[in-house]
Amino acid sequence: MRGNIYTDQSCFVCGGTLRHDPIRRGLFCKAHMQVCATDRFKVRFGRGVTKRFRSYQEAERFLDGLRFKVDEGTFDERDYSRGNPHGFQLLVETWLKIKRQTANSPNTLRNINREIYRAVAVWGQRNIKSIDDVEIDDFLYSIEGIGEKTRSNIRSVLHDFFTWACKRLKIECPAFPEIKYVLGWRNVVDIETQQSVLNEIHRISWHINPKIYIGIKWLSTYVSIRPNEMRNLKERHIDVNGLFIIPVDKENDPKLVQMLDDDIEIYRTMPKGLPDLYFFRHLKGNGAAKPGSQFGKDYLYKYAKKAMTNLGIQGVDLYGLTRHSTVTALGEYFSDEDLMKHGTTHKSNKAFRRYMQAQRNESIKVYAKARQIQEMARVVSFPKSKRK
């Protein structure tokens, strides 16, 4: 039969080798049958598996288990290799190296690291093949103090990892539980209030950096662009003929967004920088930021929040002020299907969105209507503010 049990001990009488006798269940000297091994056992199974044990019983059970796996066709030598290539943590570290090359933002990578290491803390270097759907379900619901949206995010990270690992190891991927959740509503403002806030942002920021106002104004119009995508635009991502080029969006897809004519003219009046400079960058240092450095993650929201505070508006974030408020107003002019397809671009066909000019033409109608209703709501003079 394949595999055997050995020992480093020798006969204390003659120094001979102690050999395995499965009938007597031990290792004995041929010349002195009363001498048997008491320690330092090891199982060798083929060329790739060697494991040490303190007792014969442990070695025997391990060997029987290997032979059983061979009989049922599930034996994989890599499961017992010294480097433990099927170890959960080792595979996670390999997967994260790949993610560092493909993640679309540092924030995404930080989130992935945080969620996957929750699982590493539980499973460590366990063989990934021993982690089944029941354990995954138990793990997800063992995490306390989080909402179902966060639990769903952890599930997505785990599912992404297991899909990659199981494909790499050519093993079956365990089933994952479905986690249902309801997203909370964002507070929005009517379009007139949005324009009053934009006027106030213009008043408090234009002399500091015009791009603060321009960035928030564009977010209020081009509802397919998320704040972080806008912030990450570089000079080379804005075509002088009127096109925002989002190289990789939240869904890891490229995205092209047509600009309105008046915004093209505004862009053409702005000083140009080197292609790899961020378009939304500081003009001068402000203590924490150096001249030419990219706007911080919350920089636009800082000014939006200050303007809303001046106007007595509370409980509205940057998303709610810009994208969500505009989409809500556009709902009076477009169907949900048209807004999703031509406005926010949720669940739209990737190839159609990327290559077809017709799609861009339809999108520009949505953005033009957004600008039209904003202009209709614009007040002639700046609203009164609560100045300190």
**Ramachandran category for residue 242: left, alpha or beta (phi over 0 → left; psi -120 to 50 → alpha):** left
Give the model's confidence band at 224: pLDDT under 50 very low, under 70 low, under 90 confident, else very high.
confident
Closest to 44 in 3D by CA, of 10, 87, 8: 8
Is the pTM value of this prediction over 0.85? no
- Tens of pLDDT, residue by residue over 295-330, are 998 999 999 999 999 999 988 999 889 988 888 888
Once rounded to an integer, what is the mean pLDDT over residues 336-346? 60
The pLDDT of residue 143 is above 70: yes
**Percent of the chain's residues with pLDDT above 90:** 42
Pair of tokens at residue 25: 């269940």
Task: Return all residues near 151 (Cβ < 8 A) that are at least 6 apart.
Answer: 140, 141, 143, 179, 181
Comparing C-alpha atoms, which of 10, 9, 118 is closest to residue 53?
Answer: 9
What pLDDT shows up at residue 358? Answer: 36
Average pLDDT for residues 174-203, to the nearest whole number? 85
Please say if the pLDDT value at position 81 is more than 90.
Answer: no
Q: What are phi and psi of 52, to 5 degrees?
A: -100, 150
Tens digits of per-residue pLDDT, 233-289? Answer: 999 999 878 888 887 655 556 788 889 999 999 999 888 889 999 999 998 766 677
SS (H, E, C) the chain: CCCEEEECCECCCCCCEEEEECCCCEEEECCCCCCECCCCEEEEECCCEEEEECCHHHHHHHHHHHHHHHHHCCCCHHHHCCCCCCEHHHHHHHHHHHHHHHCCCHHHHHHHHHHHHHHHHHHCCCEHHHCCHHHHHHHHCCCCCCCHHHHHHHHHHHHHHHHHHHHHHCCCCCCCCCCCCCCCCCCCCCHHHHHHHHHHHHHHHCCCCHHHHHHHHHHHHCCCCCHHHHHCCEHHHEECCCEEEECCCCCCCCEEEECCHHHHHHHHHCCCCCCCCECCECCCCCCCCCCCCECCCCHHHHHHHHHHHHCCCCCCCHHHHHHHHHHHHHCCCCCHHHHHHHHCCCCCCHHHHHHCHHHHHHHHHHHHHHHHHHHHHCCCCCCCCCCC
Of 381 and 31, more confident? 31
For residues 184-188, give the mean pLDDT: 72
Residue 41's pLDDT is what? 94
19/22 Cα distance (integer angstroms): 10
d(CA 343, CA 370): 10
Asked whether residue 291 carries a pLDDT value surpassing 50, the answer given is yes
Q: What is the pLDDT of residue 131?
A: 92
154-178 mean pLDDT: 92
- Asked if 115 and 146 touch (Cβ cutoff 8 Å), the reply is no
For the stretch 4-42, pLDDT in tens is 999 999 999 999 999 999 999 999 999 999 999 999 999
Convert the pLDDT of each residue in 213-223 to its tens digit.
Answer: 999 999 999 98
Mean per-residue pLDDT, 193-208: 94
Mean pLDDT throughout 192-214? Answer: 94
Q: What is the mean pLDDT of residues 361-386?
A: 67
- Mean residue pLDDT of the chain comes to 83
